[in-house]
Each structure stands twice: as C-alpha cells, then as structure tokens.
Structure 1
Amino acid sequence: MKRLFKRKRFWVILALLAFVYLNNSSLLVQPPDDKPWLMAHRGLGQTFHMEGLTNDTCTAERIYPPEHPYLENTLPSMRAAFAAGADMVELDVHITKDNQFAVFHDWTLDCRTNGTGVTRDHTLAELKKLDIGYGYTADGGKTFPFRGKGVGLMPSLDEVLSAFPDRSLLIHVKSNDPDEGTKLAQRLASLPADRLHLITVYGGNEPIAALEKQLPQLRTMSVDSMKACLLPYIAIGWTGIVPEACKHTQLQIPENVAPWLWGWPHRFLSRMDQVDTRTILVIDGGGFSSGFDTAEDLKRLPDGYSGGIWTNRIDRIAPLINRE
C-alpha cells in the first residue's frame, strides 16, 4: 500500500511538472509574425557614454560627436523619431510655476541650458526663452555644437499633443509630487477616449497613484504597479492566470529579468496582449537611459520577439528591424 501511494505521488508530481512545462514553454508555440514595435526614448536625441555615470552627472557634457541635428524632447526630434520608424515616443514633463507642463528631462536647468535653478520654479514663458542646446559638448568643452540652436525649442505638453494627435506617446512624470499627477490628469481628461487610448503615463508612485484616481481609464505604470503585477504573476503565472493588477497597464521588463517570467517570451506576451497590457524590453532595468541601440544589442532578443523595444537610437534600430 505504501509503495502504491509513493507511485501515485510520483505520477501526480510528474503530471504537474508536465502541465507547467506545456503551459509555459514557448518552444511549443509558433512565434507570431509581428515584428517588435519600437519606443523612441525622448525622440531622437544626442547619446552619451555611460562610464562612471551617476545621478548627478551632466550628460550633455559627455555626448558622442553628433551624427544628426536633433535635441531630445523637442518637436523636431519627435517628428524625426516617428519618421524613422518609431511606434511610440517617450517624453519627460515638469509642472511649471504657472501650472503648465514643460517637456524637458532635467530637474534643473544648469546642465543643458543657459538658465539656472529648478525647472519647475520657472514659468513656461521663461523656459521658452532658454537655449536648450547651450550645454552640449563632445570634446570636454572645447566646442558646443548646439549652442544658439536651441532657443525656443522647449515645447509644452499641449504643443506635443497638438503636433501628434494620432501617435502613441509615453509621458514620464519626473517628480514624485502627487499634485502633479492630479494636474496632469485634469489636462488629459479633456482628450477624447480614442486619443487617450494612445497615451501611457509612468513615473513616481505618488503622482501615478493620484493620476489613476482621477483618470482610471488611462494606461499607467510605476514601480508599485509593476510589483503589483509581476510578483503575483511569478507566484501563479505558471497556471496561465494573469493577476488583475496586470490588466491594462504597461510593463518595462529588464532583459535579465524577462527569462524568469512564466511563458517568456511568446506565451507571456500573448497573455499580456489579451489583457490589454503593453510589454517593453529594456536593457538592465533601463538604468541611466540604456536601450537597444546597436545591432549587437538586437542579437540578444529572443527569436520571434514581438513586444516593445526601448531604444535611444531609433535611426539605427528601425532600419535593422524593418530589414528582418
């Protein structure tokens, strides 16, 4: 009797393991015909070397020799990104002193512009007078190739929404101020439902939580929302069940974490698609703006990958993806 019980337990365990494998292995799934979709980080801008990079580093002072004339987070850079093949453009916003939203990356003005102080302490009109190309240099300050060319190029969020009425945008709230989330929700609430569907907002936990309360139909993402989705998924995803927190959101998955997700890549992407959630693959968590920027980076993608790709060099990556 004891031997029979052990034999039954063995077959039950074996059946369970077989179920887990068959329910999550992408080896048994025909890869989709779709190509990866491309998310252009800050549009098409100048890139920089990342050796010794910290949160306080002025990246405008370490750009590579310019290969194109565009500055990040500007209307020309976004147009260039879409023209190059971007499916979505990411942009950064700050609330201004007069309660508008300026599109600019840095918390302070001193690195990139000829202004000083905290970005949000200025009115939009004051910010528009600045030269946002003032601080860029590729040779340690010997030359400044964009100085004088960035005057008036800092756009407002309203200008971006007007310029790209039917394109997908990823808006990054740079603060952790809940009031900023509330004000952004009030601005976006005036948009029609079909336009709102093309917009995703991510950022600090507090502004995103405040925005979700005001505008629950908007797709959002924060560290808290990522944890709320992925931790339960890691626990129960082997069953094929997708947690409620994973529905209608966005996931920015580090490439070193992705292989540990149940069903990665094809079953996982299919499950997220079925609950209206977008998945973007980033390099090593996306720290310090890292993205899939070279042909070598693309070689690390899973065969048949059809999710999103985070890139700083849409001009390089789009032709390679479209050539496949």
Structure 2
Amino acid sequence: MRKYLFLGISAFAIAIYLTNASWLAGTRSGKPTLIAHRGVYQTYNRENLGRDDCTAIRVFQPEHQYLENTLASMQAAFDAGADIVEIDVHPTTDGEFAVFHDWTLDCRTEGKGTTREHTMEYLKTLDIGYGYTPDGGKTFPFRGKGVGLMPTLEEVYRAFPDREFLINIKSGRPQEAVQLDNYLRERNLPTRGKLRVYGSEKVMEKIRKLRPDAWVFSRDSVKQCTYRYLMLGWSGYVPEACRNGAVVAPNTWHWALWGWPNRFLQRMEDAGSLVMVLDFKHRSPGGVHGIYTPEQIDFLSTDYRGALWVEKIEVIGPYAKTKFGLEN
C-alpha cells in the first residue's frame, strides 16, 4: 500500500512539474514592453513617505529638465525607449480631462484646492513647476518654467497619434468612467491601439462594461489574480482576475509564480494580459513601485518578453536595449 501511495505521489509531482515546466513552453517572441510611469520625471525621496505627502518638496537635485505628465516629458520617455507612457487624469468643470498627477493643486503649483473643481482654462494658467524644491525651500529650480504645461487628454493623444498610453483614473467614482468613455468617443480616441486604463476596482468594473475590449486593471484585481494563481496555478488554471489586464511579477518572489518565466508568460499572454515586473524589495506605504536601477531587473533572462513598470525610463530604457537586444 505504501509503495502505491509513493508511486501516486511521485506521478502527481511529475505531472505538476511537466505542466509548469518553463522550458517546455519555449521562449516568447517579440520584445519586452517598457511602461514609463509619469514619463520622464523628477524622482523623490520615498523614505517615510505618506500616501498624501507632497512629493515636490522631496525631489532630489535635478538631473534633467522634465516635469511629469507634460508633453515634453512624454516625448523624452518615448525617445528613451518607452512603449507605453502612464498618465494621470482628472475631469474639469468645463468638460475636459486634465493630465496631472495630484488630487489637489497646492503641492506642485501656485494654485489652491481640488484639481477637478476648476476649469481647464484656469489650470492652463498655472505653473506646474512652482512647488518643486530639492533643498527644503532654499531654491525652486522649476518655478516659472511650467506655466501652461498642463495638457488635456486630447492634446496628449493628438500630439502622439502613433503612441500608446496607460490612463490612471484618480477618482473612485464609477460615473467618472462614463465621463471618460463619452469624452474619448466624442473625439475618436485613442488614435492607436486599445484603451489602456487602471484605477479603483469600482471604476474599472464600469470601464469593462463600457469598453469590453479595453485593457483594464486595478490594485484589487492584481491582488486577486496573484493570490489565486499562487493557489491554483500549479494546475495550469488562469483565474478570471488575471484575464485582459495586468499581472504583477515582483522582482523578489517571481520564483513562486507557477511556470515562471516562459510558461507563466504564455498563460497570461493567452489570457490577454500583460505581465509587469515591479520592485517589491523597496516597498513604501503607497505600495510597490517601478524599476529605478538596472540591478532591479538583473534577475531577468535576456529572452524575457513581459513588461517592465519603469520609474526612470531615461536609465532603464538604454539598459534594456542592451540587455534584451532591442532594436531602435
């Protein structure tokens, strides 16, 4: 009896191994997808950073002249190798969508109050570089240089008709999904590829109903996907939460993902999802964040064909070109 039990367990273990053997899946075609968070932007000190803290007063000494969510920043990101640029949007009182990160204006600009409670006409008058200081208020290197640089969502799409963007809806109100859908349909946007959007799960549920072909995810859907796959992925099953969205592959425990790398990537690609590598080692109260340094992706093989969520595209773009053998 013990002999048959041992054989049964051995056969089951071999079946699981073969089901999840990466080498049997072969390598993926194409190239890695680089997602530039906020474009090229001024990075900042995340130590003891609270979710609502002003980051403009925590920036490091400037290494370049770009400010996040501006057309120049997006162009620089694409020039550095980005395939997709992540942007943040807010509806305005005059029917536009402003591309701006913060919920309020007080941190980065000379304006006051909630971003969405103003007209786009007013937002265009603000200096989005006003509040940046790397030395506790002694100097403000971007003050006066960001006047009128806050773009509308339409301006972004029109400026880059052959490029792709990932839209972050900052609100948790489902009605905002309807507003965004109407706004894009009236203007025949996006001009290339499918709509890519993420935000709160309630808003994303609405987007999925309005745009069944959209690429959509939320923090909740990513968590559900990861946890359920860890429990059931050994069987080859891909949870519903993992379909047509994003799947996170933390750079510290990617080994726990059944079939990593090639079998895992194949399953998620077949499910219509994009696997994104993030940095899980240097977590902050706001959650995990993207890739800053080449060392954070050195664990990836040269034939990796998923995505990278990148914070410093100006550093990672050129490095990825060499590491993965990317063409211009």
Q: Letter of the aligned partner of 1:15 in structure 2?
A: A
How much has 1:193 moved relative to structure 2? Answer: 9.1
Q: 1:253 to 1:67 in 2, by over 3 A?
A: same
Q: Letter of the aligned partner of 1:292 in structure 2?
A: I
Secondary structure of 2:198's counterpart equals strand
Q: Which residue of 1 aligns with 2:103?
A: 107
- Residues in 2 aligned to 1:8 and 1:189: alpha-carbon distance in whole angstroms: 63
- Residues in 2 aligned to 1:191 and 1:231: alpha-carbon distance in whole angstroms: 39
Structure 1 residue 203 corresponds to structure 2 residue 199 = yes
Taking the TM superposition and a 5 Å limit, the aligned residue runs for 1:209-224 are 209-224=205-220
How much has 1:192 moved relative to structure 2? Answer: 6.0
Q: Which residue of 2 aligns with 1:118?
A: 114
Q: Which residue of 1 aligns with 2:304?
A: 305
Moved more, 245-254 or 215-224: 245-254
- Residues in 2 aligned to 1:32 and 1:53: alpha-carbon distance in whole angstroms: 38
Does the aligned pair in 2 maintain the 1:177–1:207 contact within 8 Å?
yes
In terms of fraction of residues, the more helix-rich structure is 1
Give the length in aligned residue pairs: 320
Aligned counterpart in structure 2 of residue 83 of structure 1, from 70, 76, 79: 79
Q: Which residue of 2 aligns with 1:40?
A: 36
CA RMSD of aligned residues (A): 2.2
Q: Which residue of 2 aligns with 1:319?
A: 318
Q: 1:241 to 1:290 in 2, by over 3 A?
A: closer
Moved more, 277-286 or 210-219: 277-286
How much has 1:289 moved relative to structure 2? Answer: 7.1
How much has 1:20 moved relative to structure 2? Answer: 0.8
- Residues in 2 aligned to 1:276 and 1:234: alpha-carbon distance in whole angstroms: 19
Structure 2: gaps spanning 5 or more residues: 324-328
Q: 1:313 to 1:223 in 2, by over 3 A?
A: closer
Aligned counterpart in structure 1 of residue 125 of structure 2, from 126, 129, 137: 129
TM-score (norm 2): 0.90
Q: 1:299 to 1:26 in 2, by over 3 A?
A: same
- Residues in 2 aligned to 1:318 and 1:28: alpha-carbon distance in whole angstroms: 30
Aligned counterpart in structure 1 of residue 221 of structure 2, from 208, 219, 225: 225
Q: Letter of the aligned partner of 1:87 in structure 2?
A: D
- Residues in 1 aligned to 2:148 and 2:166: alpha-carbon distance in whole angstroms: 23
Alignment deviations for residues 158-211 of structure 1 (CA, whole Å, 9 cap, x no partner): 111111222121100111111111111222335769846343100011211122
- Residues in 2 aligned to 1:160 and 1:205: alpha-carbon distance in whole angstroms: 25
Q: 1:228 to 1:294 in 2, by over 3 A?
A: closer
Does the aligned pair in 2 maintain the 1:167–1:198 contact within 8 Å?
no
- Residues in 1 aligned to 2:299 and 2:23: alpha-carbon distance in whole angstroms: 17
Q: Which residue of 1 aligns with 2:254?
A: 258
- Residues in 2 aligned to 1:29 and 1:233: alpha-carbon distance in whole angstroms: 18
Moved more, 8-17 or 193-202: 193-202
Structure 1 residue 149 corresponds to structure 2 residue 145 = yes
How much has 1:35 moved relative to structure 2? Answer: 4.2
Does the aligned pair in 2 maintain the 1:23–1:240 contact within 8 Å?
yes
- Residues in 2 aligned to 1:194 and 1:290: alpha-carbon distance in whole angstroms: 26
TM-score (norm 1): 0.91
- Residues in 2 aligned to 1:194 and 1:174: alpha-carbon distance in whole angstroms: 19
Does the aligned pair in 1 maintain the 2:161–2:192 contact within 8 Å?
no
Structure 1: gaps spanning 5 or more residues: none
Q: 1:211 to 1:32 in 2, by over 3 A?
A: closer
Q: Letter of the aligned partner of 1:111 in structure 2?
A: C
Secondary structure of 1:109's counterpart equals coil
Moved more, 253-262 or 94-103: 253-262
Q: Which residue of 1 aligns with 2:7?
A: 11
Does the aligned pair in 2 maintain the 1:35–1:321 contact within 8 Å?
no
Moved more, 161-170 or 79-88: 161-170
Does the aligned pair in 1 maintain the 2:171–2:199 contact within 8 Å?
yes
Taking the TM superposition and a 5 Å limit, the aligned residue runs for 1:260-275 are 260-275=256-271
Q: Letter of the aligned partner of 2:322 in structure 1?
A: R
Structure 1 residue 158 corresponds to structure 2 residue 157 = no
Q: Which residue of 1 aligns with 2:135?
A: 139
- Residues in 1 aligned to 2:206 and 2:322: alpha-carbon distance in whole angstroms: 42
Alignment deviations for residues 226-249 of structure 1 (CA, whole Å, 9 cap, x no partner): 245334433332122323443222
Alignment deviations for residues 108-152 of structure 1 (CA, whole Å, 9 cap, x no partner): 111100101111111111111100000011111111111001000
Moved more, 124-133 or 178-187: 178-187
Moved more, 19-28 or 105-114: 19-28
Q: 1:192 to 1:156 in 2, by over 3 A?
A: closer
Moved more, 10-19 or 183-192: 183-192
Secondary structure of 1:110's counterpart equals coil
